């Protein structure tokens, strides 16, 4: 057979899908290719590599592609074909998990042929898989130029931007994806999320509402929808959608395998209420526990171990048990025993507001709802008395109480330091835990009115609660300390960025969850420095009033959402 006839036979076998027959013919051509143009030989090696990969011989295929690349090195007239060989190499390397090698091959393909859309697509995907979002974004930005009518490219570009927090940049790309594919559920979802993240809550609602028919497939969308409604104060609509949070976070997981309580008064039932979303939010939702305890035969509360003593004191009619990793009821039981009590139904603590806080008038008028240990409070007050009669102000700059992890809600330490150092008419109590010692030492350098008590660094919520209850004022960013102080009825100033979490709503200086908390919000385009100037002015008024020996402290209960009855005010006082 002549070279030409062998080539024809090899090509015919390949077209017919007879790869086992085609590969030996191409290998034979390579043995008989003396005198053939180098470009043809390189193409034969490329075809051999393709066949080897299709037959599962991936490493051999990479070797064949490399032969083709070596032959064409420096042959500029074959850049497009050479780019294709590098692309084939990259795809094969990716299939073998050789991610960085694949990236290198695809970069070579893109450099040889800058408009090679397939190479850019796979390269962008690989960058994304590696977490190199900036490079991935650049690839998809170029793809949207090369293929402006491809909705997938616009969608992926917008999604990558959202991952980096560039929501304003993401919206044009996502809107274009939706224009090209009006039925795209993904585009609709990411537009809704981007609008919410940029504070455009009202604008996001129609997009979330379009996703209602696919709620079970998109629980994260329903969670975003509920948080948008909660931020806007539309509670009755919000709590039903908020139920999707458990599916969004845990799939079909339930704490124990029991029937869920429906919230109806059930004096003949023992019900388990379990914590779910971190200490701060569980403290906030525990404000509904009194109503649940009232409405069932007996209530068992399963909470984070750090809250056990505080909850047990505050809700003596309930059985309080620390949370464990054990899931009960896996054998089909209709009742389980927990804390020595037989319970037949359960409910996540975050579901209580669905039954007890459906409108603003459902919030009880009271200064607090958790009770600190009176003896520990007395001990703190005795210690504070020893450092003078000045008002005691607790402060921190990370709402979690620790500074080991970055916190987007953290206050600028230089402004906190300036506030503390400039005001000597108060005794400042540092509440920050973790690696705060160095920052704290800078704050109190040369001052005698800034204090750090070692016990505040102990992760004991009950001990911390007593400390907070002993202070005259707390200044804090968002976090569990803000919730804890509010639950105790301690006067608290909460400093928030413009786009705060739904727990603190969008406007106003008070929250129905914690009436003793006054909120200082950064207005749009306002700097932290300007907000701290407002805090400083408010602090001046507070200190002048507390310095007046004849001043009687007014009630810190501020409840603008409804008019309190005289009986409620008497009970709250």
Whole-angstrom distance, CA of residue 84 vs CA of residue 87: 5
Segment holding 486, helix H or strand E: helix 480-488
Strand partners, 342: 337
Helix axes 117-129, 79-95, angle to 10 degrees: 30
Whole-angstrom distance, CA of residue 376 vs CA of residue 11: 88
- 556 alpha carbon, distance to own chain's centre: 32
pLDDT number for residue 459? 66
DSSP assigned state of 390: S
For 259-358, which CATH class?
alpha beta
Give the residue extent of every domain in the chain.
3-221, 259-358, 374-547
Strand partners, 273: 301, 347
Q: Which three-class secondary structure string do you get for 194-223? A: HHHHCCCHHHHHHHHHHCHHHCCCCHHHHH
Which stretches of 55-98 are DSSP H helices? 58-72, 79-95
Instruction: For residue 494, give every residue at least 6 positions away whose Cβ sits within 8 Å of its Cβ, in sequence order, or none.
Output: 476, 477, 478, 482, 504, 517, 518, 519, 520
Fold of the 374-547 domain: Rossmann fold (3.40.50)
Is 85:46 a contact under the CB 8 Å cutoff?
A: yes
pLDDT number for residue 270? 96
Q: Phi, psi (5° rounding) for residue 479?
A: 155, 180
Same fold, 259-358 and 374-547: yes
Whole-angstrom distance, CA of residue 550 vs CA of residue 446: 32
Going residue by residue through the chain, which has 573 residues, state the pLDDT in tens, using 9 for 90 and above.
788 898 899 899 999 999 999 999 989 888 988 888 999 999 999 999 999 999 999 999 999 999 999 998 877 778 999 999 999 999 999 999 999 999 999 999 999 999 999 999 999 999 999 999 999 999 999 999 999 999 999 999 999 999 989 999 999 999 999 999 999 999 999 999 999 999 899 999 999 999 999 998 899 999 999 999 999 999 999 999 999 988 877 665 678 888 999 999 999 999 999 998 789 899 999 999 999 999 999 999 999 999 999 999 999 999 999 988 788 877 778 888 998 999 999 999 999 999 999 998 899 988 899 999 999 999 999 999 999 989 999 999 987 654 444 456 789 989 999 999 889 999 999 988 776 667 778 788 878 888 887 665 566 899 999 999 999 999 999 989 999 999 999 999 999 987 778 888 888 888 999 989 999 999 888 899 999 999 999 999 999 988 876 655 655 555 555 555 555 555 555
pLDDT number for residue 78? 82
CATH of domain 3-221: 1.25.40.10
Q: Phi, psi (5° rounding) for residue 370?
A: -110, 145
- Structure token pair of residue 547: 């310095």
Residue 224: name the closest of 279, 521, 209 by CA: 209
Whole-angstrom distance, CA of residue 485 vs CA of residue 466: 10
pLDDT number for residue 35? 84
pLDDT number for residue 401? 54
Segment holding 558, helix H or strand E: none
Q: Give the end-to-end CA distance of the chain in Å, rounded to a whole number.
A: 105
Residue 123: name the closest of 153, 148, 150, 145 by CA: 153
Whole-angstrom distance, CA of residue 224 vs CA of residue 245: 9
pTM confidence score: 0.83
């Amino acid at each position: 057979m002549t070279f030409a006839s062998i080539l024809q036979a090899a090509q015919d076998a390949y077209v017919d899908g007879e790869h086992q027959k085609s590969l030996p013919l191409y290998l034979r051509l390579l043995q008989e290719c003396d005198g053939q143009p180098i470009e043809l030989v390189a193409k034969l090696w490329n075809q051999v590599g393709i066949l080897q990969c299709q037959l599962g011989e991936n490493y051999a295929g990479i070797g064949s592609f490399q032969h083709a690349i070596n032959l064409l090195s420096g042959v500029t007239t074959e850049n497009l074909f050479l780019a294709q060989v590098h692309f084939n190499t990259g795809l094969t390397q990716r299939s073998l998990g050789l991610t960085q090698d694949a990236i290198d091959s695809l970069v070579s393909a893109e450099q040889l042929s800058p408009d090679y859309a397939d190479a850019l697509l796979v390269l962008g995907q690989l960058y994304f898989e590696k977490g190199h979002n900036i490079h991935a974004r650049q690839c998809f930005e170029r793809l949207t130029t090369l293929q402006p009518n491809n909705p997938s490219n616009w969608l992926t570009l917008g999604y990558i931007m959202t991952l980096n927090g560039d929501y304003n940049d993401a919206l044009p790309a996502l809107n274009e994806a939706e224009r090209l594919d009006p039925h795209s559920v993904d585009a609709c979802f990411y537009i809704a999320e981007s609008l919410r993240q940029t504070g455009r809550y009202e604008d996001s609602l129609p997009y979330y509402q379009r996703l209602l028919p696919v709620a079970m497939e998109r629980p994260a969308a329903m969670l975003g929808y509920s948080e948008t409604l909660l931020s806007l104060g539309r509670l009755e609509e919000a709590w039903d959608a908020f139920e999707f949070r458990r599916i969004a976070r845990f799939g079909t997981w339930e704490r124990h395998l029991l029937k869920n309580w429906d919230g109806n008064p059930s004096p003949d039932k023992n019900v388990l209420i379990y914590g779910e979303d971190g200490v701060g939010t569980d403290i906030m939702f525990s404000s509904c526990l009194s109503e649940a305890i009232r409405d069932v035969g007996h209530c068992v509360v399963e909470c984070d171990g750090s809250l056990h003593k505080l909850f047990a004191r505050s809700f003596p009619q309930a059985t309080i048990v620390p949370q464990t990793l054990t899931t009960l009821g896996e054998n089909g039981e209709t009742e389980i025993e927990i804390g020595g009590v037989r319970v037949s139904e359960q409910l996540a603590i975050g579901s209580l507001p669905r039954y007890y806080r459906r409108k603003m008038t459902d919030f009880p008028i009271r200064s607090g709802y958790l009770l600190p240990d009176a003896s520990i409070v007395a001990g703190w007050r005795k210690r504070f008395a020893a450092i003078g009669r000045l008002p005691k102000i607790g402060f921190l700059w990370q709402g979690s109480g620790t500074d080991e992890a970055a916190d987007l809600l953290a206050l600028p330490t230089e402004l906190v330091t300036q506030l503390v150092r400039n005001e000597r008419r108060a005794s400042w109590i540092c509440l920050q835990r973790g690696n705060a010692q160095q920052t704290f030492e800078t704050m109190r350098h040369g001052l005698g009115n800034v204090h750090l008590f070692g016990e505040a660094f102990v992760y004991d919520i009950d001990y911390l609660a007593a400390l907070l209850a002993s202070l005259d004022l707390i200044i804090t960013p968002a976090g569990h300390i803000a919730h804890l102080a509010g639950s105790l009825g301690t006067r608290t100033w909460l400093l928030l960025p413009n786009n705060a979490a739904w727990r603190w709503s969008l406007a106003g200086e008070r929250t129905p969850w914690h009436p003793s908390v006054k909120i200082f919000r950064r207005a749009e385009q306002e700097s932290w420095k300007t907000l701290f100037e407002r805090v400083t002015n408010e602090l001046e008024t507070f200190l002048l009033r507390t310095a007046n020996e004849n001043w009687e402290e007014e009630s810190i209960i501020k409840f603008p959402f409804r008019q309190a009855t005289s009986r409620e005010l008497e009970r709250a006082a």
